[in-house]
Amino acid sequence: MSQTEPRIVIIAPCRNEEKFLPDLIRSLENQTLKPVECIIVDDGSTDKTPELVSEAEKRNSWIRLVRKEDRGKRSVGPGVVETFYYGYEKLRTKDWDYICKLDGDIVLPPNYFKRLIYYFEKDKYLGSASGKLYLKLKSGSLTLERTSDEMVWGCTNFYRRECFEQIGGFVKQTMWDGIAFHRARMAGWRTRSIWDPELKMIEQRIMGSSQKNIIVGRIRWGRGQYFMGTHPLYILAVGFYRLFERPFLIGGICIAVGYFISMLKRAERYDFPGFRKSLHAWQFERLKIGRRLEKIPDPPENLFHEKELA
C-alpha cells in the first residue's frame, strides 16, 4: 500500500457465521485496496467462526480476531452495535480515514473499496456510502434488495471519518443505521447507496432473518422505525411497499404491526434536537407531500446514476 492511499479500518461483528464467513474473508483478501486493519469480533460463537478467523489471521497481517464474552444468544440491533464498539476500542490504527462496519454474511466484489473511495474523492460532501445489495436465492440467482438511493446499507456501513465522528457514531438501538444516515444528512453530508457494477454486494441470508426468523425480523424492523421516530403515514407506505418482496405480504404487514404495537405501548423513541422534525420532512418529501429541510450542494454532474449500469 502506498503512503497516499486512504486508510480503511473494518470492524465485523460475527456470531455463528461458519457457513458464510469464508466467503466474506475470501472477498476481503481479494480486494484491490485492502484495509490497514480488519477486526473480526467473535460475539460468543458456538461453531467454528473463531477458528476460521484465526486461520485468516495467520494468512493476513491486517486481519485480527477479537473474542467477546458470550451473551448466550444472538442480539441484533443494539447487540451488533455493542459488539462493533467492542472491536472499535481495540483498533490499533489511530490515523484511519474511513471506517466500515461489516456483516459476516456479505460478499464484496474485488474492487469494492477502491471504487467506493473513488466516489468519496469526487464528492467532498459524501459522508457515507455503500453499493447496492443483492440477495442470493437458493437457485443461485440474485435479486435486488430495494431501498432508497440515500440509504446506506447497515451490512456494509462505510463512513468518512469526519462524518462518523461528527454524528457521534452509531446509536446502540435497533435502526442505528437509519439514524446514522439521517444524522449525517442533518449535518450537511450526502449519503448514498450507489448504482455501480463494481459495488454490487451479495447477501447470502435474507435481511433480518439472522435472529430466529424473518417474521421476528420484520416486527423488529417496525419497532425500530418507531424508535427512530418515523411518521405513521410513512410506516404505512413502507408496509405497503414491502408487501411485494420476500417474505411476500406477511413481511410488510409485520413491519406495520411492530410499529403500531410500539406506539400503543408508548415505547421509547430516539431523542436528538431537531431529528424527528427533519426525518418527517424527508419522509414527506418521499411521499410527495412535503419538502426536506436540508439543502446539500449537488454532487458533480453524472457522478451518481439512478439505475444499474450494464
Q: What phi and psi, each to the nearest 5 degrees, are found at residue 273?
A: -50, 120
Cell 431529528 sits on residue: 275
**Beta-carbon neighbour count of residue 197 at 10 Å?**
13
Question: Which is nearest to 42 in space by CA: 68, 10, 9?
Answer: 68
Indicate the Cα dihedral angle 56, 34, 19, 136, nearest 10°: -160
Query: Which pLDDT does position 207 carry in this prediction?
Result: 59
pLDDT of residue 310: 45
Q: What pLDDT does 210 receive?
A: 47
pLDDT of residue 213: 76
Number of helical (H) and strand (E) elements in the chain, helices listed first:
10, 11
What's the pLDDT at 150?
96
Identify the segments of the chain with pLDDT beneath 50.
Answer: 1-2, 209-210, 310
| pLDDT at residue 209, as a whole number | 46
Classify 121 in phi/psi space as left (phi over 0), alpha (psi -120 to 50) or beta. alpha
- Write down the pLDDT at residue 146: 87
Measure the CA–CA gap between 148 and 195, rounded to whole angstroms: 11
